[in-house]
Structure 1
Amino acid sequence: MRNGRGPVGPERSPRPVEELLLRGGPLPEAAAYGAATYFADSRAPRGDRHVRLCTGTGCFVASAGRHVDEVEAPPSGRAELYAREWLPPGEEPDSGYPYTLITGRRLAHYNAGTMTRRTPNVEIAPAEHLDIHPDDAARLGLDEGSGVRVTSRRGSVLARVRRTEDVSPGEVFMSFHFPDVPANVLTSENTDEVTDCPEYKVTAVRLEQADRPRSPLPNGSGDR
């Protein structure tokens, strides 16, 4: 545990707080909202790290490194990396769906935005838009802030246009923070063969002009 600021009250060390965490003492604020508190137990060998997990019904302490000793290191003591044969994505652009959609996050929001859209962050990025290279936008007749329909083999969504060189020609970007522009309607069921991680970074789409009203885009809203 590291002091974030000078101790408040009679305590001059974080140790009493560590003791409270180890005992599972009452932390009503953490229990009410859900929290994970990480700290080092100075009495344990190797300075083992622990985590205290709290829910609305109570808290418990667990080791944050419980599987460390179960992993057998190679004789060299160093990690060994192996090259995997390259595999193509589950789907690729073609004449019907000529653009590659990449989905991800924007700096002002996190995942579904259920928390960040309830904060002043929404003033930084109040709505979703499609990032598209200016050359592609000009070819399709898409002006800044105009409506665009994004369609994949699975569905279609409406968004506003943001012309930017943050993306390369032939690629477009959209986040998944806003329920009125559900980007995951477009993505495929293809997954990584080892981890089953969904293929959110490669989705073949086509783009068409749409009737969504134009409105100014906030500055800096293209951050990933």
Structure 2
Amino acid sequence: MQKDINQIISDLKKMHGTPRCELVFSNPLELVVATVLSAQATDQKVNEVTQPLFRKYRTWKDYLSVPVEELEEDIRPTGFYRNKAKSIRGIAGEIEGRFEGHIPEDVDTFATVKGIGRKSANLIVGLAFGKPAIVVDTHVIRVSRRIGLTGNKDPDKIEQDLRKGIPEAVWTDFSLLVTLHGRYVCKARKPECERCLMREICDYYKGGRKDV
């Protein structure tokens, strides 16, 4: 990886400010639920739904004891609400049963929970527990490939490439900043290259905007 990671992070901070997740949460449980709800939904819509949701449901047992139809109705605006309700209850049951109600702070362990996976496990462990984590979402895949940080398309291989080329201390900040960049500048269909501070070191831009 022949890129200056410190310069990339500096440029990303100039464009997007403090590294951050746009989901609103106050504890690890809330972040898990918000992450499930964020699939195929905007963070803004999820935050609208979770504001009353988190007042109503405070523990994993709350999610397990409520009739599933009631939970579905509470999360309906996020879309795919039946699948999401089933996933939340499955995660709640597994965390209660396997881990005595405590979310694992180890990515490899947490990723074994059905409905979580490595992307979500990294995000939650990185944000909720402050541990270094590479979060390979669709934005990180796209931006990392365009910049030239990886040539892979498989998320697990991309995670390994980024782990090797980026100092562990900035894994989480890098992931959050790249997600913001993919969301607001390096968009899938119409990337706004002219306002990107990284365009001179970007393989995509230098290659005539042909996906690499």
TM norm structure 1: 0.22
More strand by share: 1
More helix by share: 2
Give the number of the structure whose alpha-carbon radius of gyration is greater: 1
